[in-house]
């Protein structure tokens, strides 16, 4: 490739008055290059809209090798001007050798992006890059890069190394522990393809330290490779992840594993102390309809982990209103909402009295939103009866309770309450009318609920 300086001198010698669009573009390029040649910003000029400018920039980048220059040359391999593409291809040849491997590793992302571009056939160039990175003399460098990269670059390097590394055991082990999820999944697939004692050992070692999604994939690969997968399936039935337990329950009957027996054996052991063990136990019990001793239920409801308490609430199918109401002071919103959802399924007749007693105890400690949710568990007219009762019992706080009564009236649209007796409802209506007549609450809001 001719030096940029001599090429520019030749171009200037041909400079003539702009008689055509091409001449104008060439003269524009000469002026721009002359004004910026001293700054050395060839990378920026390589993306200029003027093809003459890009051509000069690519020539200069080809003469000054660096990782940054390589990135720009790769971009120009797909340029819409054939001459620029040819210059870029000639410039990249200097990197297609072992000394150029560090620069190639720095430019992995644009190289992978190049594979999807179709303005020219980039297959030969990418094949040469792959051959360089698979070379034995740069193996350690590429391996070290693989261990710290993530995303598509890590997947690319893993697949590249898997083709040439012998034996593959250490690479598969590092792949199963890699921070990139897709590398871990690719390593599992590679272990499946290379089924053997070493692959089984690697999969078993990776199982305890993997996230739930990977554990499911590991089990799918591991179970068919084991002569007796009972122990693995028994442990998976008590996994904290619902997805893992679901796979284990699906596979268990095929290998003679009884989920109820696994649960019973676990209940014969001391109570769990770790969150993951509690979640696995409670999850399995809920999924197979297993029964937990009352002491275990109580311990789960009082556990220090909100997720465990939430799982215990979902497990309380036959819990009484009193038991559930005792959980309304839980600090975790998810647990509180789950308790409210469970209580909302009970009939009003079973809730009115216990909810009223619970509000008497917890009203002051509950935030406003929680108060409203607990009060909403009662039948509509019993809600009004409770607020009126509190107003009459606490004359010092009359203004506060009048505001609560007003809010209750404003929340009503069509009251359906088959639980409250007619006489009691009529008495409440008269009380509300009296409050409105006295000017303590607005008559308009009372008219919403009283005919």
- Cis status, amide bond into 350, omega within 30 of 0: no
**What number of residues does the chain have?**
451
| Candidate from 34-43, 182-191, 311-320 with smallest mean pLDDT | 34-43
Torsion of the alpha carbons at 293, 299, 301 and 307, rounded to the nearest 10: -110
Q: What is the pLDDT of residues 103-153, one digit of tens each?
A: 999 999 999 888 888 787 788 888 999 999 999 999 999 999 999 999 999
Read off the pLDDT band of 35 (50, 70, 90): low
Distance of CA 115 to the CA centre of its chain: 29
Contact 7, 59 (CB under 8 A): yes
- pLDDT: which is higher, 46 or 112: 112
Q: Are 16 and 23 in contact (CB under 8 A)?
A: yes
- Label residue 33 by pLDDT band (50, 70, 90): low
pLDDT of residue 19: 55
Could you tell me if 310 and 335 are in contact, meaning their C-beta atoms sit under 8 angstroms apart?
Answer: yes
Q: How many CB atoms lie within 10 A of CB 65?
A: 16
Quick one: which H or E segment has residue 242?
helix 242-251
Q: Report the run of H or E that residue 28 belongs to, with start and end.
A: helix 21-36
Task: Give the mean model confidence (pLDDT) for residues 313-318.
Answer: 77
Whole-number pLDDT of residue 166 = 87
- Closest among 187, 192, 193, 156 to 171, alpha carbons compared: 187
pLDDT reading at 62 higher than 70: yes
Q: What is the pTM of this model?
A: 0.77
Domain positions in the chain: 228-315
pLDDT digits (tens, 9 = 90+) for 171-185: 999 999 999 999 999
Binned at pLDDT 50, 70 and 90, residue 320 comes out as low
**47/53 Cα distance (integer angstroms):** 9
Going by C-alpha positions, the residue among 226, 219, 234, 230 that lies closest to residue 200 is 226
CA dist., res. 80 & res. 78, Å (int) = 6
Whether the per-residue pLDDT at 31 is higher than 70: the answer is no
Q: Is the dihedral of CA 83, 89, 92, 93 positive or negative?
A: negative
Q: What is the mean pLDDT of the chain?
A: 86
Stretch 377-405: mean pLDDT, rounded? 92
- Whether 74 has a pLDDT exceeding 60, the answer reads yes
| Burial of 262 per CB tally in 10 Å (0-12, 13-18, 19+) | buried
Query: What integer pLDDT is reported at residue 9 of this predicted model?
Result: 61
Dihedral sign (CA 260, 262, 268, 270) = negative
Burial tier of 143 (Cβ tally within 10 Å: 0-12, 13-18, 19+): middle
Residue 86: per-residue pLDDT: 85
What pLDDT is stored for residue 78 in this prediction? 83
With a CB cutoff of 8 Å and minimum separation 6, the contacts of 246 are 287
**Nearest CA-CA partner of 290 in 315, 269, 309:** 315
Judged by DSSP in three states, 262 sits in: helix
Residue percentage of the chain with pLDDT more than 70:
90
Average pLDDT over residues 398-422: 90
119 or 311, which is more confident? Answer: 311
The pLDDT value given to residue 58: 82
Element (H, E) at 230: helix 230-237
pLDDT, tens digit, 9 for 90 and up, residues 222-256: 999 998 999 999 999 999 999 999 999 999 999 99
Give me 342's structure tokens.
Answer: 């469970």
Question: Is 70 exceeded by the pLDDT of residue 77?
Answer: yes
Kindly report, residue by residue over 255-307, the tens digit of the pLDDT: 999 999 999 999 999 999 899 999 999 999 999 988 888 889 889 988 889 99
Spatial neighbors of 57 by CB under 8 A, at least 6 apart, are 42, 43, 45, 46, 48, 72
- Cα separation, 142 vs 156, in Å, equals 11
Give me the mean pLDDT over the 192-211 stretch.
89
Cβ atoms of 361 and 372 closer than 8 Å? no
End-to-end alpha-carbon separation of the chain, Å?
Answer: 97
What backbone torsions phi and psi does residue 88 show, to the nearest 5 degrees?
A: -65, -40
Decide if pLDDT at 5 tops 60.
no
Q: How far is CA 355 from CA 6, 94, 267, 316, 371, in A?
A: 93, 80, 34, 18, 11
334-351 residue pLDDT tens: 999 999 998 888 898 888
Please give the pLDDT value at position 20.
62
Query: Distance (Å, rounded) from C-alpha 275 to C-alpha 307?
Result: 8
- Give the 3-state secondary structure of residue 141: helix
Nearest alpha carbon to residue 54 among 74, 84, 31, 77: 84
Kindly indicate the confidence band of residue 212, based on its pLDDT and cuts at 50, 70 and 90: very high
Q: List helix spans (H) across 394-442.
A: 398-411, 422-437
pLDDT for position 59? 84
pLDDT of residue 3: 55
């Amino acid at each position: 490739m001719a030096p940029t300086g001599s090429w520019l001198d030749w171009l200037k010698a041909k400079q003539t008055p702009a008689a055509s669009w091409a001449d104008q573009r060439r003269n524009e390029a000469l002026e721009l290059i002359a004004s910026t040649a001293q700054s050395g910003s060839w990378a920026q000029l390589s993306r200029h809209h003027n093809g003459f400018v890009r051509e000069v920039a690519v020539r200069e980048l080809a003469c000054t090798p660096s990782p940054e220059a390589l990135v720009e040359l790769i971009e120009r391999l797909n340029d819409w001007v054939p001459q620029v593409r040819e210059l870029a291809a000639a410039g990249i040849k200097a990197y297609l050798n072992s000394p150029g491997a560090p620069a190639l590793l720095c430019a992995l992302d644009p190289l992978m992006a190049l594979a999807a571009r179709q303005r020219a056939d980039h297959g030969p160039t990418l094949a040469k890059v792959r051959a360089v990175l698979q070379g034995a003399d740069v193996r350690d460098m590429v391996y070290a890069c693989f261990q710290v990269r993530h995303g598509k670059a890590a997947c690319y390097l893993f697949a590249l190394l898997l083709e040439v590394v012998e034996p593959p055991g250490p690479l598969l082990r590092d792949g199963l522990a890699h921070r990139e999820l897709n590398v871990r999944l690719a390593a599992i697939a590679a272990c499946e393809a290379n089924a053997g004692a070493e692959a089984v050992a690697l999969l078993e070692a990776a199982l305890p330290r993997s996230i739930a999604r990977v554990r499911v994939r590991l089990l799918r690969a591991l179970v068919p490779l084991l002569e007796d997968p009972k122990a693995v399936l028994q442990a998976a039935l008590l996994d904290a992840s619902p997805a893992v337990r679901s796979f284990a329950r699906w596979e268990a009957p095929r290998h003679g594993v009884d989920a109820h027996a696994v649960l019973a054996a676990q209940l014969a052991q001391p109570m769990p102390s770790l969150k993951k063990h509690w979640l696995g136990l409670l999850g399995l019990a809920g999924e197979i309809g297993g029964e937990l001793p009352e002491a275990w239920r109580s311990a789960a409801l009082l556990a220090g982990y909100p997720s465990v308490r939430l799982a215990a609430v979902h497990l309380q199918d036959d819990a009484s209103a009193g038991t559930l109401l005792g959980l309304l002071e839980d600090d975790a919103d998810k647990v509180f909402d789950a308790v409210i959802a469970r209580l909302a399924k009970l009939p009003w007749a079973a809730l009115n009295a216990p909810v009223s007693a619970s509000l008497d105890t917890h009203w002051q400690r509950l935030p406003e939103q929680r108060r409203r949710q607990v009060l909403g568990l009662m039948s509509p007219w019993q809600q009004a009866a409770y607020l009126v009762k509190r107003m009459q019992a606490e004359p010092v706080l009359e203004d506060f309770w009048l505001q609560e009564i007003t809010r209750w009236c404003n929340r009503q649209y069509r009251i359906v309450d088959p639980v409250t007796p007619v006489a009691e409802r009529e008495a409440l209506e008269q009380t509300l009318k009296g409050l409105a007549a006295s000017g303590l609450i607005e008559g308009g809001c009372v008219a919403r609920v009283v005919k």
